[in-house]
Amino acid sequence: MGIHIKSEKEILLMRDSGKVLSDILSEIEKKIVVGITTFEIEMELRKLLKKNKVKSPFLGYRGYPAVSCISVNEVVVHGIPSDYIIKDGDIVSVDMGVNYRGFITDAARTFLVGNVSKEGIKLVDVTKRSFYEGAKMAVEGNHLYDISFMIQKTVEKEGFSIVRDFVSHGVGRRLHEEPFFQNFGEKGKGPILKYGMCLAVEPMVNQGTYRIKILKDGWTAVTEDGKLSAHYENTVLVGKDTFEILTEKN
């Protein structure tokens, strides 16, 4: 298929899609408190999608049963909403997408609930920082793996590890488009970036080993050693002179 370069009209639609998703994630942060279940968070997200008159690209994707992935503590990604009750000190990742007029954006945030450990706070901060360091490289003329290199460098400098089993990816008319790329790698490798590429850049960072295992439900990925994991993602437009985050408030 190749990498799809978005037209100016498509970029405008991607911006609109991203704004809706950013607004939804900002709204849901207020609901993530001690005592709520991850299924109740899912129900709130469904209401917000309906209110904004947009659809979920997650629901039904390869049989996935929800509009969001809600991953707590040692869950890396793809946590299926359940009756798990959020506790004081939890770190909660919410990963979701929006389909607005046929254009999909994808983003994830890891939220701190109550009295999170110093190590947990640092993990979430470094994960977010690694995203921004990577995103800075999303400029025409750079190489795709310049993004990955900066993510890995930021994470490993702080003593954490980058998950190797899941990748960042292109996004647009489909949830997952080319290019698919690891969140680690060598600078100067991969395709040359061009204005109009839209990338879902999503570092997943573990406190301990980068190794993960998949639970019996076939979706939920957890750290092999049971230590914490964090996830931060935005849809990024490759710019001519600088990058643009489509799923974040300006």
78 in a labelled binding site: yes
Find out whether the peptide bond into 179 is cis, omega within 30 degrees of 0.
yes
Q: Return the C-alpha torsion angle 122, 123, 124, 130, nearest 10.
A: 100
Domain map of the chain by residue range? Answer: 8-245
Higher pLDDT, 19 or 250: 19
Closest CA to 70 of 219, 247, 181: 219
176 in a labelled binding site: yes
Tell me the pLDDT band of 250, cut-offs 50, 70 and 90: low
Q: Tell whether pTM > 0.85.
A: yes
Torsion over CA: 150, 155, 156, 161 (sign): negative
Task: List, for residues 150-194, the tens digit of each pLDDT value.
Answer: 999 999 999 999 999 999 999 999 999 999 999 999 999 999 999
Radius of gyration in angstroms for the set of CA atoms belonging to the chain, rounded to a whole number: 17
225 in a labelled binding site: no
User: Could you say which DSSP state residue 140 is in?
Assistant: T
For the domain with range 8-245, which CATH number is right: 3.90.230.10, 3.30.1490.20, 3.90.550.10, 4.10.490.10? 3.90.230.10
pLDDT at 1 over 70: no
**Exposed e or buried b per residue across 200-232, where buried means at least 16 C-beta atoms within 10 angstroms of its C-beta:** bbbbbbbbbebebeeeeeebbbbbeeebbbbbb
pLDDT at 2 over 90: no
Residue position matching structure tokens 């970029």: 11
Rounded Cα gap, residues 80 and 219, in angstroms: 7
Distances (CA, A) of 247 to 17, 149, 208, 210, 217: 8, 22, 29, 27, 29
74 in a labelled binding site: no
Q: Are 97 and 173 in contact (CB under 8 A)?
A: no
pLDDT at 79 over 70: yes
233 in a labelled binding site: yes
Distances (CA, A) of 194 to 99, 127, 163: 24, 26, 27
125 in a labelled binding site: no
Give mean pLDDT, residues 98-108.
Answer: 98
User: Could you say which DSSP state residue 173 is in?
Assistant: S
pLDDT at 26 over 70: yes
Give mean pLDDT, residues 16-28.
Answer: 98
231 in a labelled binding site: no
Strands (E), the chain: 68-72, 75-77, 91-100, 103-112, 161-162, 168-170, 177-181, 198-201, 204-206, 212-214, 221-223, 229-231, 234-237, 244-245
